[in-house]
Amino acid sequence: MAVVHRTTMTPGKLELLAAWLPTRSWYRDPGAGIAPQPARAGGFRLDDPQGEVGIEFMAVTDGAGDQPVTYLVPLTYRGAPLDGAEQALIGTSEHGVLGRRWIYDGAHDPVLVERLYALVRGGAVPQAQSESDTPDPTVTGWSAETGLPGPASILGVSDGPDTTDVLLRTPAGEPTLSVRRVLLPAPEPDDSEAPLLGHVTAEWTRPDGTKARGRYAVVRA
């Protein structure tokens, strides 16, 4: 069970994301040299069964432009660098309890990817973003097949204009796990011809305080 510590991180997560977001292919640049102004908008956590890696799915809304944009940033927190993942490092931060943490774009982290796929399959329980040992019933995983097999490992990761696509190796084949980067309320357009195998749906808060709900991730054949 992941413990949410009531402490500080220096630099903070939003500070790190403000510098990192403009480097992403899916970032909606407001132009005119305007810097991002990310604010928390929601999300949830998953537990690492080994208790070593912190896993958080953070929704952040950038209000820098004329139209606010809400992004999904899956994060992992590690006590040491992840071998071979230098390109996925968002930054390091000093945690008030745990010391230095290496913070990664979780779409490249095998622990987060395996747990997210487990959530789709019904094999992981989503946890509240800011409370220890508190399941979040608003987050749902769905799979087209009751016995969608696991576990899953990463074969490759690619960023597109709206998603980060993770090619998986599973006992049943090589599906693609698409992490939605620009969040859209359901229903959302679906231009893919690949069969839908599963998805994760969750909420976030709009700037006006109302709730939105949509897909955080989908799995396709």
- The per-residue pLDDT for range 179-213, each reduced to its tens digit, is 999 999 987 656 666 889 999 999 999 999 999 99
Q: Is 206 helix (H, G, I), strand (E, B) or coil?
A: coil
**Cα 57 to Cα 203: distance, rounded to the nearest angstrom:** 11
Mean pLDDT across the chain? 92
pLDDT, residue 103, reads: 97
The pLDDT tens digits for 132-178 are 889 999 999 999 876 678 899 999 999 999 999 999 999 989 999 99
pLDDT of residue 163: 96
CA distance 95 to 61: 24
Question: What confidence score (pLDDT) does residue 98 get?
Answer: 73
- Residue 156: which residues within 8 A CB-CB, separation 6 or more? 166, 167
Q: In the chain, where are the structural domains located?
A: 9-220
Cis peptide preceding 11, ω within 30 of 0: yes
Give the pLDDT of residue 4. 63
pLDDT at 11 over 60: yes
DSSP E strands: which ranges in 79-132?
A: 89-95, 99-105, 127-128
